[in-house]
Copies of this chain bind each other. A is one copy, B any other.
Amino acid sequence: MTTEDLVATARRAASGSYSPFSRYRVGAAVVTEDGSVYSSANVENSSYPVSQCAEANAVNYAISQGHRRITDVAVACLDAEDLDGAYPCGRCRQILNEFGVERVMVATAEGDYRVHTFGELLPYAFTLDPDEREPTQ
């Protein structure tokens, strides 16, 4: 799948957005290490902290299907005025970091998109090694 196609897939995925509270429709498409593609959208909740972003939803679903690495992520915010309003939030970047994402495409409803290396979006990322945790309390 080309980068253009991945962005187009993210845009189409936004049609599934459940966002009656923010009215901010977002779609995302991700590519796994073996080239599989999954797409999803943001899903909000009456209790805002329980909401889920589009790219988080897509990554978490892909992982749950047995994948363990994501290489590319495209995010499309249909209701962003410009590309500056379409970037993944910090929480989503933390999720992307867990699974080795390399490239992130940022898009609005139409027009050009931007491509970033993941390192440009979350420098000094936090990672916890599950095998090195030692009881200290």
Contact = CB atoms under 8 A, between A and B. Distances in A.
Given A57-B64, A89-B126, A20 B50 contact: no
A23 B61 CA distance: 19
A45 interface: yes
Contacts of A71: none
Contacts of A21: 21-22, 48, 128, 130, 133
Nearest to A89: B47
Interface residues of A, number: 70
A130 to B, nearest CB: 4
A86 to B, nearest CB: 8
Contact of A126 (B54, B90, B95): B90
Contact of A90 (B17, B18, B50): B50
Contacts of A2: none
Contacts of A122: 90, 122
Interface string A35-79: 000001111111111111110110111011110100000000011
B50 A61 contact: no
A45 B95 contact: yes
Interface of A: 13, 15-25, 40-54, 56-57, 59-61, 63-66, 68, 78-79, 81, 84-85, 87-95, 97-98, 116, 120-128, 130, 132-137
